[in-house]
Structure formats: structure tokens, C-alpha cells
Structure 1
Amino acid sequence: MADHGQASFWTQANALLRKNLTYQRKHIWTNVRLVLVPLFLCLLLLSIQLLLEAVMNKVLDMAKCGSKDAPNGDYCPIPNPPLLPPMLHIPEPESRAVKAGLFPYSDLPDLSCRKTKTCPVTMLLTGNNQSLGKALSGTMFGGSFAVNTSDLLPSLADNVLGTTLGAGMDSFRDPGITSGLPIYSIQPQCNANSTWPLSLGKTRTEVKCVQGLCLWRNSSAEINKEIFKGSWRGTPERMTNEIAAAYDLLSTDGKNLDVNIWYNATYYSGGPQNKPLVRVPRLISLVSNAYLKFLKGPGTKILFEFVKEVPKNSTKSNSDIASLFGPLFFTWVVLLLFPVIVTSLVYEKQERLRIIMKMHGLGDGPYWLISYAYFLTISVLYILSLVSFGSVIGLNYFRLNSYSVQFVFYFIYLNLQIAIAFLVSTMFSKVKTVTEKWIIVLELFPGFSLFRGLHEFAQAAFHGNGVKWGDLSESGMDKVFYIMLVEWFVTLTVAYFVDQVLTSGKSPCLFTKKSTTSLPDPSVESQSSDNVLIDMEKADVTHEAETNQREKVELMRIEGSTGHAIVCDNLKKVYPGRDGNPPKIAVRGMYLDVPSGECFGMLGPNGAGKTSFINMMTGLLKPTSGTALVQGWDICKDMNKVYTSMGVCPQHDLLWETLTGREHLLFYGRLKNIKGPALKQAVEESLKSVSLFDGGVADKPAGKYSGGMKRRLSVAISFIGNPKVVYMDEPSTGLDPASRKNLWTVIQRAKQDTAIILTTHSMEEAEFLCDRLGIFVDGGLQCIGNPRELKGRYGGSYVFTMTTSSEHEEIVERLVQNISPNAKKVYHLSGTQKFEIPKQEVMISDLFLMVESAKSKFTVFAWGLADTTLEDVFFKVATSAQASLS
């Protein structure tokens, strides 16, 4: 196959786009359901609105505005709110402050007043000028109760009125007046049973006299302590002892009124947030009026006549529930996209699809561009559906606000949300973690900018105006736009940076660290190595018998590596120690060269370090020290360039379950810059080479392939586009014997212009495919050579086996020792013995003569003679290496 060169940015983007479109076409109904979600949610909101409107209309129909059953102004218009006399809040008679228990003040009234319900209403004063305070307290309350029924409000203003009831939810009515309970006239002294009838509109009640008592305290801290203790509710000895109010006159003098007021807001219906200040104006009026009398004499007064709420329209005139609940509801609706995006990104990471695409030449730029554009397209369609459906069914939330303002707002936010999704996806490695744990928390935390914008849309729609471009500055929406744009840019930049550090394995200083093309000094690297090939000084590498492997690699680094696709120079990987364990050396300074056209096999027991070596060569791990050149590119600096000439067949098949075998090869073929008819031809040849072309297999989803078919597809993917270097991790795992032999033929044919590094546990596969073998033990290559050379060097023995009766075992052993004094018995069980006999000590004819001699003396049940196998060589090298290192 011809070399098509490196695929351009747009060629890679086109390949990924086509793959994504194919993938999404197979999931079209999932996307349709996602886009239709806003329709169902808008219909749900509309149903709720219609239901609530029906309930509200039924209530209003039962109580017409203006009738006696009207709901007290909650729904009806109030163009002229009533004038309400200002009143103080005073404690219940049984709760007023007395001298008892924790309250030993001598100026408080005796506890006995509670039995007669005549306890005074106590107010406390403090400040820097006690004489001034006492002067003010003497004129704080009015005289005897008197009103002019023809001019009621001004005459009521001359009296200090109090109530034990808190204010209502609004000031269109006052429970202290409308309840019919007594109103209190607070006076310096009261005569016994002083009561007066009073008519306020349709309400008839009575006014009772209650003494107002102003007491001096030495400091505000003392007052604070007394009020705090007075709120205790418990035993009779620790009863409630409530103070009506308190004043701190601070630095008040004849030229300056400086005052702080304590007031109790806990009695208001629904908590202190509901009209807490309705009763406070009278407290201000009392001290102001007393101060004015102190300055100007008793004939001067401030008349506080009434309080009045502002007029209001009928609530029924606008029952737009969608606009009222829109910010919270639609925040949740838009955020439904967030877990979809994050899950999709994490899935590619979990299944290692992102890294396998990268290994076959897909750059970060095309990946980010196409993925971002796809998520943005889905998000825009989702929002367009939301706004369209909401407008069609008549929700003012969408119809009244300018569509262009809404589009710009949503578009900016969607970009911000996608950027955040990319950033968040770097924190997860498994979809299950995202969907079951963290995504719930993320959904419950709506974006503040989104909520603020939706709130402005809702408020404008509720009041019947809607948001237009000219309203942005006044409503603050312009700041929301600016904030989201800045957040989007910053988040996307950070997400890309984190992705490069965590996923690509680059340095955290990738934006500041100046790149360099200089390579490490081989002499320095060689001095830092702590391991060379075992017996390297003895030239134990048969293929390089005349020269030291290290010296050869270093010479290649100095003179250039022409003709060698892979050159490893003191490549080392050390995992840091954890939990008190020492550091683990996975690869011990490897020196290796693999020329083009050679298949190099790596054999070794599990845990030897083969996977760590492959992961460094494919960019999954950064070397601790040393480096490797692939086609002249340094894996520590130019991994993205290495990917363009590399193919990978991983140990586990990394495939999209819904894409067919043909679609997989089309995608990876485009990444290798194959186009037009050449692409179609290359895909068909690849499918035929791995027996996936006939019978419609090529067009079946990979999820329906058997394990062997998936394996063959992974091999085909690794060779598509004629890569210069291919890494194959146990490629024939799971294949039947016929498929395995067919696959070996494919690999042999493909390696003509390709350097292949292959790991396997099959000695038959290694012997059939590999031009050279390296046995890898405890992080280092123990030997290198072709299978015949290794068997000749490490397998210089015949394996002789003989089975006799137990009483003849010693005779057999003596016969073997006679012809080979260095023979070694390696197996013995119930008359069966196995010996390793050095080849240089015997001739095969001698062994046959020995067997004939034995048969003439006793019965020989079975015997055999075998040459050393590659498996024997592997076992011998591995065990001897492990023993020497232990």
C-alpha cells in the first residue's frame, strides 16, 4: 500500500465528523427524544398553569371583589388603600416584664400584677446622658384617651395606641384593628378599669388603658442581656419577661438626636421577613416627639397621623404561572443537557476510544473542533425546540421577550456549558461515577448566570413588557452577557489545558515551556542507567554478537537512525512508592533498535514490564528517563507526530458497538489521509485480509461480532493506511486455530515495510511471526535473537524421557550418567524420569544404543528424545533471570 503522508487538520476533522454522523444516525431516535424533551416539559408547565388558573378563578368567582366574602385584597384591586393608625406592638399581659427569677431589677413591677393583668408595658433607655434620658421618658407617652369621632385619625394620632397582634402579610389591613380584640392606650398612669368604646369603620372594639413604664439602664450591654434573658420560656421561675422596646440615646444632646432602637420582629406571621417594620415607625415617632418637647416645650408635638400601603392592581389580571416559576423550571430544563455532554465525553475516555483515535493520527485540534461543534449543534436544536414549543403553546415567557435577545443569551450560555462539560469530564474516568454520584450534585447547582438571565426574562414577561435590546442595560442583562462570555473563554481555555496535561501527558508548563529539538546526551544518559542487557558485556545478544547493544544504540543516536524505525535509548519507567512501599522499577533502562520490515517479539511473564514499555511507546505513559525515537521523532517531545505514522492493536478491542467493521475502517482510513477510490479499495482489502468481507459481516455492527471477529477487526485497523510502526498486544487472543493462522499470514505480509513490536504468550506465534525475540523479565530484556539462535544458545540440551518399573529407576539413571556425566534429572514420578542431556556430550546414536541396551535387560514401557523448544528457552531464561535478581 502506498504511503499517503500525514493527514491535514481538515482531513482529520472530516474523518471524525463522518464517523460521528454515522454514529449519530444509528442513534437518531435518542437525539429526537432529547430534542422533544422541551415539548413535554413546556406542556407540563402549561398544564400546571391552566390548573392553577382554574383554581384561582373558581376562588375569585366565589368571592367577588367588593363583597363581604372577598379575600381581603389578596386578589382584588385596591386603588385606594385604607388609612391605618400607627400602633406599637406590646407583649401579652402575662408576658410583660416583672421582678421575678432571673430579673431582680428593683424598678420592675411586682409579679402579682400578672394575676390582675395590670402589668405595665416596659421600655428601656440608656445612653451617655442619663438626665436627658429621664427627661425624654417623662414625655414619651400621652395623656388620657380622647378622640373626636368627626375627625378620627388626627385625634387618634394624639394617643399612643398598642396591640398584642403582629402585622399581617401586607398593610392593606391590620389585624390589630380588624380582629375585634382590645386596643391599648399607653399612658403614664391608668385608673382602674379604664376602657373606652371605639368604632373604626365596620369594626367595633374597645380601648383599654395600660401603663407605659420607661426605665433607665446603665449600658446597652445590660439592656441586651435583659432582653435576651426575657425571651426564655420554661418554668414559672424562668418565665417569659418581655420588654416592649428599648432605646440607646448614644451621644444625644441639645443639638443632636442620635438613637438606636431595639424592636421585636419575631411575632410577625411567617417570620420577621414579612413586614417587620410596620410597627417600628411609631417607636421612632415617640422618641422624636419626646426630643422635640425637650427642646421646644410641652406645647410642641409631631403628629403621626396614619400609615398607608401603595395601591395595587388585581392579581387576577396576570396569572402567568410560567413566568413566575420560569427561572427555576427552565434552569433545570437547560441543565438537562449538561449530563448528556459529560457522559458522552467520559464514555470515550472510559472505553479508551479517545486514545486509540489519537494513536491512529487524530490530533487534539480536530477532536475538540468536531466534538465541540457537535455538542453545540445538539444544544442549539434543543433550545430552539424549547423556545419554539413554548411560543406555539402560548407561554408569554417566550413570546414577549425579544427572540434575538433570547437566542444570543442562550447561545452564549450553551457555549459556556459545553466548556464546563469539557472541564468536568477531565475529572472522571468512568460513566458510572458521573451518572450515579456527581452529576446529581451538578444538576442541583444551576448556573448563576443562567438563572439570572431566566429570571429577567420571567419578570419582564410577567409584567407584560418582555426584554428588548434597549432594556439590557437597565435590567442588568448586559452584565450577564459579559460575565458568560468571559466565563466561557476562561473555562474553555482551562479545560483544554487540563485535557492536555491529564489526557495527553504533557507538562503543566506546556504554554510557557520553550520547546526544543535537542536530544539528550547519550553519554550522560548511559551514565544514569542502572541496568543494561544481562550479560551485555559478554555479548549475550546473539544478533549483535560483535558489538555491545548499548554502544550500537548510542552510535545510532550520534550518527542518525536511518533504516531503523524504532530506537530506544536508556528508556526507563519508575512508579513512585505508595503506602510505605519502595518505588517500582517497571522498565530498567532499555536499549533496543527495530528496523523497518522486522517483527520484534517481546516475551515475558506477567508483571515483567511489557505493558509499561508499550504504554510509553504509544504515549500513554511518560518515561521517567531516557527516550525513544520512532521514525526519527522523539516520543517525549513529538508524540503527536509519532501518532501519524503509528498503528496500534491493543490487548482489549476498543470499538464503537454500533459502528460496522467497514465504518470503523473508513474512519481510521481517513485519519491516515486515504481518500476517494483508494480509501474504498484499502477498506475492502483490509476486510478481505482478515476474513470480514464476505457474508455481510463487514456491514454488521461491531457489537454483534464474536470475540474473534472483533480481534480481527482490531488487527485490520492497526494496519490500515500502511503505518511505519505497529504495536500489537497479543493480537491472536481468542481466535480459533484457522483464524489464527490466517491472521499470522496477514501480519507477515504487512510487515514488509513496517516495524512491528508484538507481545504474545504463544511460543508458536512468536516462532512463526517474529524475526527477532526478546525475553523481558523484571523490567529488562534478558536476551535478543531469532528463535533458532535462542534455542541454540539457551537450549543446548536434549530432553530424554524413559518410563520403566520403579525397581529399575536407579539402573536407568546410571545408564544416563554413563553416557553423559553432566546430565540433569528434571522430572521423576512413578517410574517416569526426564533428563536434560548436554548436546556437546552425546551423539544421538549413543542414546539409541543406550535404549537398546536397557531393553535387553528390563522392560521399557516408553521412551522419548526431544530437542529444546522455544517454550523451554523462555522458561529457562525467565527463571534464571528472576533467580539472579531476587
Structure 2
Amino acid sequence: MELYPGFSLYRGIYEFAQYIILEGGMRWEDLNDSENGMKEVLIIMSLEWLVVLFAAYGIDIVVSLGSGVGRRQSQNSRKNPLSFFWKPNLQNKDSRHHVQMDNADVIQEREKVDQLLHESSTSHAIVCDNLQKIYPGRDGNPEKLAVQGLYLAVPQGECFGILGPNGAGKTSFISMISIQNSMIGLIKPTSGTAFVQGLDIQTHMDQIYTNMGVCPQDDLLWETLTGREHLLFYGRLKNLRGSALTQAVEESLKSLNLFHGGVSDKQAGKYSGGMKRRLSVAISLIGDPKYWIRSSFKDNLWSVVKKAKQDRAIILTTHSMEEAEFLCDRLGFFVDGSLRCIGNPKELKARYGGSYVFTITTSSDHEEEVENMVQHLSPSANKVYQLSGTQKFEIPKSEVRIADVFQAVEIAKSKFTVFAWGLADTNMEDVFIKVSRETLQSNSLT
């Protein structure tokens, strides 16, 4: 029973107590007394101390692998003295939640990240290495995989757009690289990590804050403070002092058109919605952050974003396909917690938009004739919409010429009345719908 640490400790205390009662205390030479067994207790406790120390360290490694940075700790396990006896199988753990995508662009992005991680210096402001977030199940609900196996590299001077439906994992991803370890506790990755200007979000978040600007979807302002006072406060948080702070505030007010007319000295509670949004942008840009994260804006601020990205990396989350196509150098589509495709807008439209959208409105009596006309133009045409004489078709570009469509419509006009018609190329909204549809179909098969 002395192999149990608590029992051996108890026996040692008991032996001490007996010697105090009988002998007035225990001396070193009393350890040779075969009747008290104190010498055995000390030997056993010394061995237990060594064994339990290594066991506790091993348990700590196992627990941290379940909630910490998987890739980095797997690399550190080579330095772990227990790794000779036990090596964690992180690949099997991740495979329960991660479905390997075969998209060439996603694979290429992963290879780029692996290459950047082996370089001593890089021009990329943000590098995400196998970033994953799993929310534990509660009240009988299963666990939620919000972000799975994300590899992403955003260089300086690039605006990267994140598109996806609600619940796709966009907010979880942004929270992990921007407000992790903050006062509200959002949020630490389950595995993987990210590097911002070469700093690890797991260990250097305080330094990352000084180089980061975040403009959330809601305006986080104090109504009793003026615009200038807001900028002075946030500028001090970015370590600006004296003349540098004053100059940064003046430049921010001028760049966002908040300088003239006494607007900067009015209380924020008296600002209009557009002015509050401009102030939020100015706050996020003060201190010249090296990377910037923001939610969507109206087009009167697009020029500000275009100018801001010249010397910093920007991550944009938006539901506006027009805004994403205009502002972003590259786009990534999030569906079910993973990056399904990545590329610039032209590449994505060329890859997923291999068809024209033909819309025509006639009386309900001529719908069948219109359908026959489209089938004659393209046997593979697909009707996607029909209501009260208005029909919409997807026509593969490989099967039709634009001139043929115009000629067919002119012939149709001579036979019956055509109220309206149009031929459009694929837009980003069509790409988004197609990517989401393909993902849902692949998930249903698996």
C-alpha cells in the first residue's frame, strides 16, 4: 500500500509522531532502526516523486493536445522526453473532423503555407497553419466544427475577402486571429495556429494588438465622447504619444472627411449612421496597423479601403458580392467551416461560371415556344426559373455564341411579343451559389 503516495506519507508522519512520544524526536541514526521503517518510506517517496513527476508531465501534454496547438506541439514533441515512449497521433484526431478537399487552389494554398513556415522571413502579414476550432457539445447537442484545417497566407498589400453563408465559420476565424485572449475570452484555436507579422497568436497576442486594426460590424462608440476624443484614446492604446498622436488623429479625421464643419468635436451620439461608420474606420486605421480586419461597408468608403491596402494586409468579411469583387484581390469561400475555393474574382468566375444567364419575359401563352427556342440554341440549357411568363435559363458558353442569341430573339419578336429579355455573364453571386450547392451535395454523399 505504500506504493500509493498518500499512504506512504501517512506512515512517515505516523513514525515521526511515535518517536516524538517515545524518544522526544527522531535523529538521523534512528533511520537504521529496523522497527520504524522510516528509511523504506523515504526511499519509496523519492522514487514516487520521480515517477509521478513524469506521469503528470505526460498527462499535461495529452490534455493540451486536445485543446491547444496541434501542429506546434507535435513539432515540440520531438523535444519531449516522453516522446520516446509515446507519440501522439494528431493525424487520426484531425481526420475525424476534417474532410480533405481536392480543389487545386486549396491544395496550392496549403503548400504555400508550408513553404512560408520554413522561411526565416516573409512578406506575408498573416499565415494560418492548420487552424481549427471545435465548440464542445452542450445539453445533449453534438460538438460544432466551426473552422477545420484552414491554411491561408495573406501578403502585405492584399485585400482578402471571406465569403460564406451564415454559420460557415467566418466569425470564428476572425475571432481567433484578432481578439483571442481578449477580456471577453474569445477565442482560442482548438488546434493549429496563425502568425501575424511573424508573431504567434498563441504566445504574442499582446504585441499583435499594436499592429492590428479591427472594424467590427457594429459601431462600438461612446456617445458622450467626440470623434477626436475617440481617436486620441485609441491612439494611446496603439502606443502613440505627443506630436505623433496629434498628427495621426488629424490625418485620420481628414482621410475620412470628419475634419471640416466641426464634426470632429461633436459628440458621437449626435452623428448620423454614416458618420459613425466613418469614425469606426478611422479608429481601426489609427496607428498605421500592419493588418486590418473589417466587416462590409457602403461604397462611399470603398476608396478609403483601396488606399489603405497599399501598405497593409486587409481581411474583409461581407455578404455583398459586388463589394467583394470590387475591393478584394483574392476571395475565399467558406462553407461548413472549411475553405472550399480560393482565387481572384476573374479566376473564380471563369472556373465556376461556364454559362450565360438568359432571361426573357413574354406572355404565358408563349412560354413553350421560348423553351423550344432555347433548346434549339443549346441542348444542354437548364431552366432555373419560371413565373408568369418570365423564364431564366443557364446556357453553357461552349454551346452558344452571343450573336446567335441576339438573332434568335429577333426572330422570336417577329412571331410573338417579347416584353423584355437579357443575357448576362456569370457574377460572383452565381459562383457563390454553385460552390455552396456542390459542397452540400458532396456532404450528403459522405
**Shorter-chain TM band:** 0.7 to 0.9
Could you tell me whether the CA contact under 8 Å between 1:804 and 1:860 is conserved in 2?
Answer: yes
2:270 is aligned to 704
1:300-331 deviations in whole A, cap 9, x for unaligned?
Answer: xxxxxxxxxxxxxxxxxxxxxxxxxxxxxxxx
Taking the aligned partners of 2:331 and 2:236, their CA distance within structure 1 comes to 33
1:568 is aligned to 128
1:604 is aligned, of 160, 164, 168, to 164
In the TM superposition, what is the alpha-carbon distance from 1:526 to its structure 2 partner?
A: 6.3
Taking the aligned partners of 1:532 and 1:540, their CA distance within structure 2 comes to 17
Could you tell me whether the CA contact under 8 Å between 1:802 and 1:860 is conserved in 2?
Answer: yes
Q: Which amino acid aligns with 1:720?
A: I
Taking the aligned partners of 2:72 and 2:407, their CA distance within structure 1 comes to 67
Is it true that 1:716 corresponds to 2:282 in the alignment? yes
Give TM-score scaled by structure 1 length.
Answer: 0.39
1:583 is aligned to 143
Residue 110 of structure 2: SS of its match in structure 1? Answer: helix
Could you tell me whether the CA contact under 8 Å between 1:646 and 1:725 is conserved in 2?
Answer: yes
In the TM superposition, what is the alpha-carbon distance from 1:678 to its structure 2 partner?
A: 2.8
In the TM superposition, what is the alpha-carbon distance from 1:538 to its structure 2 partner?
A: 4.1
Aligned runs of 1:319-718 on 2, under 5 Å? 520-521=74-75, 528-530=93-95, 535=101, 537-541=102-106, 548-560=108-120, 562-618=122-178, 619=180, 620-718=186-284
Task: Give the 3 Å change call, closer, same or farther, for CA 524–721 of structure 1 in structure 2.
Answer: farther
Aligned runs of 1:801-812 on 2, under 5 Å? 801-812=359-370
Q: Which amino acid aligns with 1:631?
A: Q
Aligned runs of 1:752-831 on 2, under 5 Å? 752-831=310-389
Determine which structure has more spread, i.e. the larger CA radius of gyration: 1
Q: Which amino acid aligns with 1:554?
A: D
Q: Which amino acid aligns with 1:856?
A: S
List structure 1 segments (4+ residues) > 3 angstroms apart after TM superposition. Answer: 517-535
Taking the aligned partners of 1:863 and 1:611, their CA distance within structure 2 comes to 40
Q: What root-mean-square deviation, in Å, do the aligned CA atoms of Structure 1 and Structure 2 show?
A: 2.5
In the TM superposition, what is the alpha-carbon distance from 1:558 to its structure 2 partner?
A: 2.2
Task: Give the 3 Å change call, closer, same or farther, for CA 795–560 of structure 1 in structure 2.
Answer: farther
Taking the aligned partners of 1:553 and 1:534, their CA distance within structure 2 comes to 16
Is it true that 1:747 corresponds to 2:305 in the alignment? yes
Task: Give the 3 Å change call, closer, same or farther, for CA 525–614 of structure 1 in structure 2.
Answer: farther
Taking the aligned partners of 1:660 and 1:882, their CA distance within structure 2 comes to 48
Aligned runs of 1:839-850 on 2, under 5 Å? 839-850=397-408
Is it true that 1:859 corresponds to 2:420 in the alignment? no
Could you tell me whether the CA contact under 8 Å between 1:534 and 1:783 is conserved in 2?
Answer: no
1:202-222 deviations in whole A, cap 9, x for unaligned?
Answer: xxxxxxxxxxxxxxxxxxxxx
Could you tell me whether the CA contact under 8 Å between 1:772 and 1:786 is conserved in 2?
Answer: yes
Residue 569 of structure 1: SS of its match in structure 2? Answer: strand
Could you tell me whether the CA contact under 8 Å between 1:561 and 1:567 is conserved in 2?
Answer: no
Is it true that 1:873 corresponds to 2:431 in the alignment? yes
Q: Which amino acid aligns with 1:587?
A: V
1:390-432 deviations in whole A, cap 9, x for unaligned?
Answer: xxxxxxxxxxxxxxxxxxxxxxxxxxxxxxxxxxxxxxxxxxx
In the TM superposition, what is the alpha-carbon distance from 1:853 to its structure 2 partner?
A: 2.1
Q: Which has the higher contact order (CA 8 A, sep 6+)?
A: 2
1:5-47 deviations in whole A, cap 9, x for unaligned?
Answer: xxxxxxxxxxxxxxxxxxxxxxxxxxxxxxxxxxxxxxxxxxx
Count residues with an aligned counterpart: 359
1:443-462 deviations in whole A, cap 9, x for unaligned?
Answer: xxxxxxxxxxxxxxxxxxxx
In the TM superposition, what is the alpha-carbon distance from 1:843 to its structure 2 partner?
A: 0.8
Residue 118 of structure 2: SS of its match in structure 1? Answer: helix
Taking the aligned partners of 1:768 and 1:648, their CA distance within structure 2 comes to 20
Taking the aligned partners of 1:841 and 1:642, their CA distance within structure 2 comes to 53
Could you tell me whether the CA contact under 8 Å between 1:798 and 1:836 is conserved in 2?
Answer: yes
Task: Give the 3 Å change call, closer, same or farther, for CA 847–693 of structure 1 in structure 2.
Answer: same
Task: Give the 3 Å change call, closer, same or farther, for CA 635–830 of structure 1 in structure 2.
Answer: same
Could you tell me whether the CA contact under 8 Å between 1:526 and 1:570 is conserved in 2?
Answer: no
Taking the aligned partners of 2:93 and 2:400, their CA distance within structure 1 comes to 46
Residue 187 of structure 2: SS of its match in structure 1? Answer: coil
1:813-869 deviations in whole A, cap 9, x for unaligned?
Answer: 122112211110001112211100011111101111111222233222221111111
In the TM superposition, what is the alpha-carbon distance from 1:551 to its structure 2 partner?
A: 2.0
Task: Give the 3 Å change call, closer, same or farther, for CA 862–518 of structure 1 in structure 2.
Answer: closer
Taking the aligned partners of 1:549 and 1:527, their CA distance within structure 2 comes to 22
Taking the aligned partners of 1:645 and 1:843, their CA distance within structure 2 comes to 51
In the TM superposition, what is the alpha-carbon distance from 1:806 to its structure 2 partner?
A: 2.4
Q: Which amino acid aligns with 1:871?
A: E
Residue 152 of structure 2: SS of its match in structure 1? Answer: strand
Could you tell me whether the CA contact under 8 Å between 1:532 and 1:590 is conserved in 2?
Answer: no
Could you tell me whether the CA contact under 8 Å between 1:594 and 1:755 is conserved in 2?
Answer: yes
Gaps of 5+ in 1: 1-508, 511-516, 542-546, 733-739
In the TM superposition, what is the alpha-carbon distance from 1:520 to its structure 2 partner?
A: 4.9
Task: Give the 3 Å change call, closer, same or farther, for CA 847–680 of structure 1 in structure 2.
Answer: same
